[in-house]
Amino acid sequence: MKTMQRAVRLLLLAGVIVVGIPATLWAESDAIGGSFLPIDKNAAGTKVAGPLAVYYEVVGINTGGCLPFEVNMSFTMKLTKGSNSYAFASPAPTRLCYEAHDLQVAIIQAFFANTVIPGIFGGSPSFALKSVTDLTQDGSPQTAPPFFAIMDIELAVKQ
């Protein structure tokens, strides 16, 4: 169950985002313990898609009030719009508790809103996470550490 909850949180981390979409439109799934996934499968707009990879470097065990680990989180992504590709990376690792999922979501959400979308489209258009597929994470076949999650994401951006 813990692995499923972690996978769900990583989907949230990827999904980071539903800027401008009220929480009432978020999909709730009983299959994942009633967690909210900020995914709008019907989102309209210009599509950008590609892999998002999140990496966690363990910097402490049971330190800083973090159970089980304190980590440095970083992420990279390569998104394609039409025939153009754009690569982005977190500006620096962020030190946080491995189980601080809401904080991880907020960090990547802010990065999408403040760096990724303006970098591709200019300005601050609204966007939504349309899909998350092919989630792969540590544990099979490689056991952690290092901790990581790699997934394909698709965003819909309204210009």
Q: At what angle do helices 101-111 and 2-15 cross, to 10 degrees?
A: 20
CB atoms within 10 A of CB 95: 14
- Is residue 17 within 8 A of residue 112, CB to CB? The reply is yes
Q: Which value, in Å, is the radius of gyration of the alpha carbons in the chain?
A: 15
Ramachandran area for residue 51 (φ above 0: left; ψ -120 to 50: alpha; else beta):
beta
Which domain does 49 fall in, by range? 2-158
| Interval 36-52 mean pLDDT | 86
| Interval 88-116 mean pLDDT | 91
Domain count, the chain: 1
Q: What is the pLDDT of residues 10-35, one digit of tens each?
A: 444 444 333 332 232 223 222 222 23
Q: What's residue 89's pLDDT?
A: 97
Question: What six digits make up the tokens of 150?
Answer: 């790699």
**Residues 156, 93: Cα–Cα separation, whole Å:** 27
CA distances from 130 to 7, 40, 49, 143, 149 (A): 17, 5, 9, 30, 18
Question: What six digits make up the tokens of 44?
Answer: 């309209």
Most confident stretch, 20-24, 45-49, 59-63: 45-49
Question: What six digits make up the tokens of 68?
Answer: 């089980």
Q: What percent of the chain has pLDDT over 70?
A: 74
Q: Is residue 139's pLDDT more than 90?
A: no
Q: What's residue 25's pLDDT?
A: 27
